[in-house]
Amino acid sequence: MPHQGEILQEAIKNSGISITRIVDELGITRPTIYRKFKEDTIDYNFVKKVGEIINHDFSIDFTAVQQSSLPFVTSAPRPVVTPVVTPRVTQSQSPDVDPSRQLLILQSKYIALLEAYNELLLKVYGPK
């Protein structure tokens, strides 16, 4: 079963819209989107924005289990001006979990957090 990054990559490829156009509209770099293609889980807001650009509904592509694992998912849209703190979700970890897998998960969460921060900066201060 393909992970979310692979599903995203396939949908973009099938849309016929260039990666250059997508990264320009998202305000990210090409290496960033290629990193997203390798991630098991992708930020909900990122998936939603890509879906709007390529006119694709990803809710039909992601299973309910995959949708529930999307980080930073909120039930209602967040206001632009008022900052909202997402509660930390702690998962019990079994002692046999691969440390390199844990590192990759933390890395993808860190990148998603940085990108959310960059989006907030763009909303507050505007583009350069």
Confirm whether pTM is higher than 0.75.
Answer: no
Q: 84 in a domain, yes or no?
A: no
pLDDT tens profile 12-21:
999 999 999 9
Looking at residues 35-46, what average pLDDT do you find?
Answer: 87
For residues 38 and 21, what is the distance between their CA atoms, to the nearest angstrom?
20
Q: 10 in a domain, yes or no?
A: yes
Q: How many domains does the chain have?
A: 1
CATH code: domain of residue 11: 1.10.260
Looking at residues 93-108, what average pLDDT do you find?
Answer: 74
- The DSSP secondary structure of 39-107, one letter per residue, reads -SS--HHHHHHHHHHHT--GGGTS-HHHHHT-TT--SSPPPSSS--PPPPP-----TTS-HHHHHHHHH
Q: 116 in a domain, yes or no?
A: yes
Range of the domain at 22: 4-74+95-125
